[in-house]
Amino acid sequence: METILIADDHPLFRQALILAVSRVAPQAQILETGTLAAAAAAASTAQGLRLILLDLKMPGAMGYSGIAMLHAERPEVPILVVSSAEGAAVAEEARQLGAVGFLSKDSDLGTIEAAIARALGGRAPAAAASNAPEPLPQDVAGLTPTQLRVLREVIDGKLNKQIAHDLAMSEATVKAHMTTIMRKLGVQNRTQAALVARSLGLDLKH
């Protein structure tokens, strides 16, 4: 089984990367780490490691030390940097230190998926994202108006009890809607559902 390592100290963004990986490589085992030390340890022992997704700014890392350390651990494994750092110089430095590509954390889900697919296919991710596939609108086309309202409440960070109060329904009904929403979107939890919804513009107020 192939393994993909995600090294990022931000839980919400790790969820975004997990979602992207699960769509591109649904059979892959995903390892999560929140510090550079943990990432290095995971990289050194992981079986079938095919790709490392790395945030430059995480506990234990200074500058580009994360790339250098992980590349040293597994020089044969491509490293795709996904970071809030900006600028062509940063991207070029990352590549020189062993990264196969660089993506900004502002990239949408479709752009990240395309970059992961290219890296797994042995090609460097494209620098420009204009032709990257977007998440399919059909993902939400099957949602009912009530389910869309529930999903928008989830985007706002509300819990089931708050959603039930706002939409005048029972918590059990909210839970049932969430189960259906996650199944239709092909995600595992409410955080991933919110990420997909945002990528499709559903966080816009109506």
- Residue at 129 is within a domain: no
* Domain end (from 50, 85, 120): 120
Q: Are residues 102 and 14 in the same domain?
A: yes
* Domain end (from 62, 93, 120): 120
Q: What is the pLDDT of residue 49?
A: 95
Closest by Cα among 65, 68, 10, 71 to 44: 71
Ranges of residues in the chain with a pLDDT under 50 are 126-138, 204-206
Q: What is the pLDDT of residue 57?
A: 83
Q: What is the pLDDT of residue 20?
A: 93
- Residue at 133 is within a domain: no
CATH number at residue 11: 3.40.50.2300
Q: What is the pLDDT of residue 203?
A: 53
- Residue at 128 is within a domain: no
Q: Are residues 85 and 27 in the same domain?
A: yes
Token reading at 167: 């939409």
Q: pLDDT by residue (tens digit) across 1-48? A: 899 999 999 988 999 999 999 999 999 999 999 998 899 899 989 999
* Domain end (from 87, 120, 153): 120
Q: Are residues 18 and 108 in the same domain?
A: yes
Q: Are residues 100 and 175 in the same domain?
A: no
- Residue at 155 is within a domain: yes
Do the beta carbons of residue 200 and residue 140 sit within 8 Å?
Answer: yes
Total of domains in the chain: 2
**What is the domain extent for residue 147?**
138-199
Closest by Cα among 125, 140, 154 to 53: 125
Q: Are residues 11 and 74 in the same domain?
A: yes
- Residue at 82 is within a domain: yes
Give dist(CA 176, CA 172) in Å, integer: 6
Q: Are residues 68 and 106 in the same domain?
A: yes
pTM of the model: 0.63
- Residue at 165 is within a domain: yes
CB under 8 Å to 2, separation ≥6 — which residues? 25, 27, 28, 29, 48, 49, 50
Burial 109-134, CB ≥16 within 10 A → b, else e = bbbbbbbbbbbbeeeebeeebeebee
Give dist(CA 30, CA 16) in Å, integer: 13
- Residue at 204 is within a domain: no
CATH number at residue 145: 1.10.10.10
Q: Which amino acid is at 155?
A: I
Q: Are residues 93 and 54 in the same domain?
A: yes
Q: Are residues 77 and 147 in the same domain?
A: no
